[in-house]
Structure 1
């Protein structure tokens, strides 16, 4: 037997790896460059597990923890026990934050705002939400939300990614990964920020985690350049940019087929998306074509880029153009002190535009297949933080129960789900976890949350981890 008849092990291994890489690269390239592709495992027809009720989501995230007692969870019992010590039977051993754990007393703080019933549903709404009061018959209010986190960053991360520690894909990235895009000229996932102060908001909250980076959210900003680096640099014409991208694409394709790195494929797609957005984004963000009635509905702030009202109007325009997941983050709801003044300010900034968005979508026939979600990362305590008699009193973090709402997208309108105790401190009926909320959102989009998975470091991950149930009683 001669050496020539014995294949070289090193040669065979190299050939095998090269062949496998090329196959992987080609498959990855083909799937990622298809803007309508779906990555949900074992999908049904059209990449979905069952018939969807919604095509897109608009998530209105109120960062800082809106106080449920002062907004949508009316507790008349607090009027009779105002100023009294919160009973130990209410606390039930709950862990407190370091900001109030050292307080010598925990006096009950009633809401200083009036509540009235509104709509055919007779829903109790605070006077600081006069516009939301007009749309309560379109809302599915969840008063029994609860979370595992007691501090802002892990709680916000949990609501956005299903996990308290940074590094997981955001909910919008999961939507992009599972459902693809309906518009090849706009990203599947857009994030917009407004408000000042309060907790910092990090890019990872709309990031892709371990998913291919093509699924990360694209942040739209105020100013002349809504998307960074979208415009051509000085001296670079459109033809030069197109030719440059073509040459880069050729080189990146060769490299992707050679090494099978999906991030190279993501880079190709992001370059091409940026090129297409040079035309689509300026048209999208130019609201000068909106009739005067639009600004009467959303408020005059809708003319001002960077405001919540402007972002809400852009959200409607994005939904019209088929963007899959649109997220608004509004800062400033962290009311440890100065609650009366701060809450009035936050509601003035957001209430009209929030109600306008729901109304606008409904009038345009978009609410039926658009799921709108409103809420923060947790609620606030029934007891006072600081001096109850002072004008600058506040409320501490409260993860045990808080209020969110959904509208459109196949959820029941004009209902309230879940009941909290007379102090608004504990859930007594129909609890809904963060994982349950995520499972329900995915369900309305036609996706089984247990089947939308991605293999990373030897394990198949999903948005809901190993938890979550669809809350059927919320669905129409």
Structure 2
């Protein structure tokens, strides 16, 4: 017997032993499952445990794709969209115990002996048909409020950046779960077979930047083909995509064909579905060699577009350039474009740092919505803006007339959405006069996730994936669609 045959025979024997050793356990599980859940194997339509059919929406979608402008670090709602004049009136006074109600604090302020209230140094005005309050820090966003659905009553359980950010992106505070973009890739596939369904863009402002990690765009336990593809600002938007020197396109094609044959042989021997994912990724990379340079080329954009997004849009890697690139990728059929902008974590020196962050992002954010609208793409593209939680109404550390900081506040914060079938010109939810607690129409992170999936034609309770004996979903075991936000 040759060495190769010995290896094959050993693999077969191992598989047989593994199968036989688990056979009784598997049959027992099937029997137990049929007793506990009578219609688990019935195949009847309408069963909540029926297998999800990937690539087929559950109902007609209102949106085809998502651009998520994640403001990493948590911008203060009290300096942006949730105007609280009472905080100005009570500047420096102690936060009443009746408002705080013993709620959890972070380790950064739990040792403070006092919690002096602080109102925004920046003025607010009302804009649009909903008379939405917008800070003077966001003059461009103020011009498009009639296109926005502003949600002032978001809340979460997570109180620190990493778990809160992970929770927003994956539906769980711990890692190793599929991100929202991966779920959409799994649920709907790609609109463009030459580009990935899920792409990621990173930028950083001048403020205190919280890190972002690849787990935020991970495929988790889904097939690896659903993982987000990070685009860089260098000459090669996707690393290692270009052929090496001396490797022609024809030679690359022959190499991939031979590699595919070997992978198919491996699948026949091992039955590992991840092998098919590898084959698909190699083929996608080959097609992306032509599609990505075309989709990311900004040189043909007219001056009026660069003027719309701002001068920074000519500088690769900036927030403005990434907003413009997000429009191009979405326009070319990328299902989910995730943009992370770091620098919103203002525990101190908030007035100065947040002003700089707003200046870096405000014009390009509004330009993206305007650009999509003028191209007839806003109705089918859901744009989302927001961070992982809010900021406290009291000052962290020393409070002066010109300077203060704000700690993390998960109890209430603001995000907004535009396009994609959400109601325009709406302000939803309300917080108390202190900007500390929600008093009307709370929206949990899982509710937000369920609503986003709904707009793309997916029922969040049916978008499931079996893993380790459990049916997982983005919204875990919670969440409801917030129908009041939808057209």
Is TM more than 0.5 here? yes
Mark the CA change 1:44 to 1:458 in structure 2 (over 3 Å): closer, same or farther: closer
Match of residue 371, structure 2, among 360, 366, 383: 360
CA distance in 1, matches of 2:187, 2:397: 46
Structure 1, 42-51 or 102-111: larger mean CA deviation: 42-51
Partner of 1:281: 292
Please report how far the alpha carbon of residue 334 of structure 1 lies from its aligned counterpart in structure 2 after TM superposition. Answer: 0.2
Match of residue 127, structure 1, among 125, 136, 144: 136
CA offset digits 1:95-114 (Å, max 9, x no partner):
10111111111000000000
Structure 1 counterpart SS, 2:406: coil
Please report how far the alpha carbon of residue 120 of structure 1 lies from its aligned counterpart in structure 2 after TM superposition. Answer: 2.5
Mark the CA change 1:392 to 1:284 in structure 2 (over 3 Å): closer, same or farther: same
Note if contact 2:52-2:465 (Cα within 8 Å) is conserved in structure 1: no
Note if contact 2:84-2:433 (Cα within 8 Å) is conserved in structure 1: yes
Note if contact 1:167-1:209 (Cα within 8 Å) is conserved in structure 2: yes
Match of residue 430, structure 1, among 422, 441, 447: 441
Note if contact 1:44-1:50 (Cα within 8 Å) is conserved in structure 2: no
Please report how far the alpha carbon of residue 45 of structure 1 lies from its aligned counterpart in structure 2 after TM superposition. Answer: 11
Please report how far the alpha carbon of residue 122 of structure 1 lies from its aligned counterpart in structure 2 after TM superposition. Answer: 1.4
CA distance in 1, matches of 2:189, 2:236: 25
Please state if 1:140 is matched with 2:149. yes
CA distance in 2, matches of 1:316, 1:45: 26
Please report how far the alpha carbon of residue 258 of structure 1 lies from its aligned counterpart in structure 2 after TM superposition. Answer: 2.3
Partner of 2:175: 166
CA distance in 1, matches of 2:367, 2:327: 10
Task: Spell out the pairing of 1:55-454 with structure 2 (5 A cutoff).
Answer: 55-196=64-205, 197-389=208-400, 391-454=402-465
Say what the alpha-carbon RMSD is for the aligned residues.
Answer: 1.9
Note if contact 1:339-1:394 (Cα within 8 Å) is conserved in structure 2: yes
Partner of 2:46: none
Please report how far the alpha carbon of residue 233 of structure 1 lies from its aligned counterpart in structure 2 after TM superposition. Answer: 1.2
Please report how far the alpha carbon of residue 257 of structure 1 lies from its aligned counterpart in structure 2 after TM superposition. Answer: 2.6
Note if contact 2:55-2:187 (Cα within 8 Å) is conserved in structure 1: no
TM-score where L is the length of structure 2: 0.89
The runs of at least 4 consecutive aligned structure 1 residues that moved more than 3 Å come to: 13-18, 40-46
Note if contact 2:123-2:135 (Cα within 8 Å) is conserved in structure 1: yes
Structure 2 counterpart SS, 1:383: strand
Note if contact 2:150-2:414 (Cα within 8 Å) is conserved in structure 1: yes
Mark the CA change 1:424 to 1:232 in structure 2 (over 3 Å): closer, same or farther: same
Note if contact 2:62-2:457 (Cα within 8 Å) is conserved in structure 1: yes
Aligned length: 446
CA distance in 2, matches of 1:364, 1:463: 31
Structure 1, 403-412 or 196-205: larger mean CA deviation: 196-205
Note if contact 1:145-1:434 (Cα within 8 Å) is conserved in structure 2: yes
Partner of 1:21: none
Note if contact 2:194-2:287 (Cα within 8 Å) is conserved in structure 1: yes
Please report how far the alpha carbon of residue 304 of structure 1 lies from its aligned counterpart in structure 2 after TM superposition. Answer: 1.0
CA distance in 2, matches of 1:57, 1:248: 34
CA distance in 2, matches of 1:121, 1:401: 20
Note if contact 1:369-1:409 (Cα within 8 Å) is conserved in structure 2: yes
CA distance in 1, matches of 2:209, 2:440: 32
Structure 2 counterpart SS, 1:183: coil
